Amino acid sequence: MNRAARAALRLGSLACALGAWQSLTSLDVDVWLRFSQFPTVTDVAHAFGARLGTGAYWQDVTDSLRRIVTGFLLAALAGVATGTAVARSRVAEDLLGPLLEVVRPIPAIALVPVAILLFPSNEQGIVFITGVAAYFPVLVATRHAVRALTPVWEEAVRTMGGGRWRVLRSVVLPGALPGILGGLSVGIGVSWICVISAEMISGEYGVGYRTWQDYTVLDYPGVFVGMATIGVLGWATSTAVELAGRRVTRRLPGRTPTPAHPKGASTRATHLV
């Protein structure tokens, strides 16, 4: 299937979903699900158009994006570093592993009271919650990716005289990068869930804060405008992470099957060292 056909299929599926929504809400269909309570697509579109022309809307978008980018970048750095350390060092695993496994099941949004008590401003607390949400997917993905690397690459580099940092830079991180990028892709999605929830609970400005305010005043088209904005922003940031990952992985050395014999391993090591 060519690109044009795929694009048409995607647009067609979206159009069908919007058409079903418009039909069910305009006809006030109530068969267990109460579509009569929903705004129509046209109501939401009119509200969306009105919001686009206001400075408050773009301020909310900017605030949410800033919180996401800051928290996600901090989580990416910390998650990759911690995951690599835990996977490569028994001391790090024994020291950090139990604590991380106890904290990991706690939903990031449940840390809102902790963030309120710990940080002097709501802004810092929201960034903290966003970072925690993305941290654990990146950590787990990095740990599994590093542990899954074939040892022959590291042994070959060491045989050629490479030290610990050379192995880390030339073998471990490039080899684990596809798995790390998978964790980053999951992490950015989880970050959006938590940043919106945190903004609803304790935020000042932001898409989540504005959506909750619309709900409290029964502005249901405004609520759906917030939901649509969240969806578009989440899709855009996830796509950006995936595209960046594809570009990086295409430039990695050794995008060929793992060598199955010592001669292949030596060739790989020579390239890395």
34/58 same-domain check:
no
265/201 same-domain check:
yes
Q: At what angle do helices 262-272 and 151-159 cross, to 10 degrees?
A: 70
For residue 247, give its domain range: 39-272
CATH code assigned at 236: 1.10.3720.10
pLDDT digits 0-9 by tens, 88-145: 888 988 898 889 989 888 888 888 888 888 888 888 889 999 999 999 999 999 999 8
96/141 same-domain check:
yes
Number of domains in the chain: 2
Q: Which residues contact 154 (CB under 8 A, 6 or more apart)?
A: 167, 171, 172
138/98 same-domain check:
yes
**pLDDT value for 113:** 85
Task: Give Rg (Cα) of the chain.
Answer: 23
Helix ranges (H only) for the chain are 3-26, 41-52, 55-88, 90-103, 112-118, 122-147, 151-159, 164-167, 173-202, 207-216, 220-250, 262-272
pLDDT digits 0-9 by tens, 165-179: 777 777 777 888 888
178/119 same-domain check:
yes
209/249 same-domain check:
yes
**pLDDT value for 266:** 44
29/73 same-domain check:
no
With a pLDDT cut of 70, the percent of the chain lying above it is 87
Question: Tokens at residue 241, please?
Answer: 């992470």
Is the pTM higher than 0.85? The answer reads no
pLDDT digits 0-9 by tens, 21-34: 999 999 888 888 88
With a pLDDT cut of 90, the percent of the chain lying above it is 39
**pLDDT value for 110:** 86
Residue 80: alpha-carbon gap to chain centroid: 14
162/147 same-domain check:
yes
202/131 same-domain check:
yes
pLDDT digits 0-9 by tens, 180-209: 898 999 999 999 988 888 888 876 788 999
Phi, psi torsion values for 31, nearest 5 degrees: -125, 90
pLDDT digits 0-9 by tens, 224-259: 999 999 999 999 999 998 888 888 777 665 554 444
81/23 same-domain check:
no
Question: Tokens at residue 270, please?
Answer: 């020579």
| Mean pLDDT score across all residues of the chain | 84
193/106 same-domain check:
yes
29/50 same-domain check:
no
As a whole number of angstroms, the distance between CA 145 and CA 175 comes to 8
As a whole number of angstroms, the distance between CA 59 and CA 196 comes to 15
**pLDDT value for 257:** 44
Using the CB atoms, write b or e for 187-200: b if 16+ within 10 Å. bbbbbbbbbbbbbb
